[in-house]
Amino acid sequence: MYAVIFTATMKLADDEYFETAARMRELALSRYGCREFTALSEGNQEIAISYWDSESDISAWKSDPAHQQAQRLGREQWYASYRVQVARVERQYQQGGESL
């Protein structure tokens, strides 16, 4: 399993941003095999962590035309800066709740 960690400093979070973010989350989960997608923000900082079975699923998601358009808008309008990290999940510990 892989985790994609997206961190950003926001410069603008308007209605279009929130609508686009919701659409992109649903698209990742329904079409590209994303297993879980969680996003949180505090002040102008945002972090989103998504979990994937394979790097090929992540690549397919990155190449989706709607996602590429959202990325372009992010660079132009919404993010002052951002970072994407892809990590392999080596171990997982859990008590209660649903397992990935």
**Which tens digit of pLDDT belongs to each residue from 29-69?**
999 999 999 999 999 999 999 999 999 999 999 999 999 99
Mean pLDDT across the chain, nearest whole number? Answer: 92
CA Rg, the chain, in Å? 14
Task: Give all strands of the β-sheet with 45-52 in edge-to-edge order.
Answer: 36-42, 45-52, 2-10, 79-88
Residue 1 scores a pLDDT above 80: yes
Q: What is the pTM of this model?
A: 0.85
Q: Which of 42-46, 76-80, 92-96 has the lowest mean pLDDT?
A: 92-96
